[in-house]
Chain A
Amino acid sequence: MTGKRNLTTYGIAFLIILGLNFFLPRMMPGNPLMAIYGDEALVAMTPALKAHLVARFALDQPLWQQFAAYIAALFQGDMGWSYFYNAGVLKVVLGSLPWTLLVVGTSLVLSTLLGIVLGIESGWRRGSRTDRTLLTGLMSLNGFPDFFLGLVLLIVFGVLLGVAPLSGALTPYSGLSGLALVLDVLKHMALPVAALTAAYLAGGYLLTRNTMITVLKSPFMTTARAKGLSQKALKYRHAGRNSMLPVLTMTGIWLGRVVTGALFVELVFTYPGVGQLTYQALLARDYPVIQGVFLMVAISVLVVNFAVDLLYPKLDPRVSYAR
């Protein structure tokens, strides 16, 4: 049921995102500048700054001109100005992006791979104790929200056992380099990645397991068994290769979930990524930054989805892309 999205769909999605970003502040009561920056910031701004901002974002012009200005600015890489950081939003967001990418990327890959493998093994042994345990276990694990998991991990490993750092991506002021630096980074990202992976493992697992159950009944599995192939070959080369396809198509959508999960997890671990940035922005009502994060996250998810849609036919030869 996937793979039928074409450019129009993504186009509409993009427009919706832009639209939300643009119209939300302008629909709030009060003057647009206040809506965009919030009353607290406004109070602290000098009139000169206010005038500058109004001009920059065409806030005194009719709505459609504002929209045009907005789009034009976007294409130039100008996503707004953060009062609190006193810098362009794009620059601010890009500063935090790498850490989030690191954590999210690792978690996504780990949870997908592990989910697939566990799903294959579980589906293969359907009904056995291993399968039942995995199924109940992972469904339960899935019920724990990622932030709660993160907190529990933090408490257990950070506070109680003291083996993991309590915050940050790096040990501050340590001046490490080379291998030591890498180890330090790994140590700091271990728990956040663990939390995210655990929280999103079940999705891939369940989907793979269900597909596996169906695939195992296919005629080609009987053919494969007749060929006298080893269990491993049957499980992975034949059944597994077919079972992992649905998971891969969901990767794009799951990316969205993992990214939002990162938001919470970064908060819990005080990890300096985009999530932490968003939280601070929420606290401070730094709307430009919130909007900027929203735009970036939403667009990257769209892009990844699109990429997966393009790549999928390479993995499943039954799908021809021109549909």
Chain B
Amino acid sequence: MHVSLKKEIKQSHVGQVGLIILVLVIALAVLAPFLSRYDPIQQSAASLLSPSLSHWLGTNQVGQDIWSQLLYGARTSLLVGFGAGILGLILSTIFGVSAALIGGLYDKIVMRIVDAFIVIPMIVVVILVAAYVRPDLAVLILLLALLSWQGAARVIRAQALSLKEMGHISASRTFGASRFYLAWRHIVPDLGPILLVEFIYGVRRAVFIEAGLAFLGIGDPMLVSWGTMMHDAMKFSYLNVWQWWLIPAGVALSLTIIGLTFVSHAAESVLDPRLRGGVVA
């Protein structure tokens, strides 16, 4: 069962494409200041200009440069995505592994709560809370993480349970190892592939929801977001400006999500050897 995760992803064509896309998006986000001339929040010209040499994608309804917005929007998406992803993963791992190792009443209670949350449609809750709280970046990341760790916790717990029964874990217990030691040294590392896959799922969900919230107009108004761009662009669709305003934002968002999907698909086939082989997709 020693399949190298990195190797598998690199070998899969789909995984490769996904990685390339992600790297591209990350690069654009990081290099945003160098690739754009204007501050995305500042009004830099008249409103609703068509693309020109100075404004590659024209300007929006308040005169902000769309190209800059596109680049900085990547930052928002990636920050929220990875932030919520990591936080969610940490929560999932803590609860999932502890439930598996401690068992008993603690396990039952945690699992009931987890199941209850899984059944509730998450986005609706986020919208409700966002309607009241108007989250900024940090609060949004926290909120997303709090509402999405449950799904992964279930999967992690299941895997941890089966790992717990494995020989080398039992052996460590006979040395008098504490449960925390077991978790940290043995179980979590063995969970690697699953953690990665669940992490990518989490990132994907977070990116999607952040954009969705912005699209509905209840995101952080200070943040540059692809969702907001699409929201604003939609209002002016009759003006034929969608080609350089709406489409790039939507495509950028979609590509990011697709990249994440592809990478997670390649990672999944590492987890499930039955799916490997055959399709090199």
Contact = CB atoms under 8 A, between A and B. Distances in A.
Contact of B274 (A132, A217, A297, A298): A217
Interface string B87-109: 00000000000000000000000
Contacts of B215: 147, 264, 267
B125 A294 contact: yes
Interface in A222-274: 252-253, 255-257, 259-260, 263-264, 267-268
A152 B129 CA distance: 29
Contacts of B234: 151, 268
Contacts of B127: 260, 263, 278, 282, 290, 294
A136 interface: yes
Contacts of B135: none
Interface string A127-148: 1000110011001101111011
Interface stretch (B35-43, B192-200, B256-264): B256-264
B272 to A, nearest CB: 8
Interface in A1-32: 1, 5, 8-10, 12-13, 16-17, 20-21, 24-25, 28
B121 A1 contact: no
B135 to A, nearest CB: 13
B119 A252 contact: yes
A294 B247 CA distance: 31
B119 to A, nearest CB: 5
Nearest to B250: A148
A28 B129 CA distance: 11
B115 A291 contact: no
Contact of A148 (B116, B237, B253): B253
A12 B131 contact: no
B121 A260 contact: yes
User: In which size bucket is the chain B interface?
Assistant: 35 or more
B257 A9 contact: no
A139 B113 contact: no
A127 B279 contact: yes
A210 B154 contact: no
Interface in B195-238: 208, 211-212, 215-218, 230, 234, 237
A139 B278 contact: no
Contacts of A21: 128
Main secondary structure of the interface of B (DSSP, over half): helix
Contacts of B121: 255-257, 259-260, 297-298, 301
Main secondary structure of the interface of A (DSSP, over half): helix
A242 to B, nearest CB: 14
B120 interface: yes
User: In which size bucket is the chain A interface?
Assistant: 35 or more
Nearest to A142: B261
Contacts of B262: 139
B119 A10 contact: yes
B112 interface: yes
B254 interface: yes
A132 B129 CA distance: 41
Nearest to B257: A143
Nearest to A202: B261
A279 interface: yes
B279 A131 contact: yes
A148 B215 CA distance: 10
B142 to A, nearest CB: 15
A81 interface: no
B128 A290 contact: yes
A34 to B, nearest CB: 12
B153 interface: no
Contacts of B125: 20, 294, 298
A302 B124 CA distance: 13
A145 B211 contact: yes
B276 to A, nearest CB: 10
Interface in A159-180: 159
Contacts of B261: 139-140, 142-143
A218 to B, nearest CB: 11
Given A282-B131, A282-B218, A305-B119, A256 B278 contact: no
Interface in A113-139: 126-127, 131-132, 135-136, 139
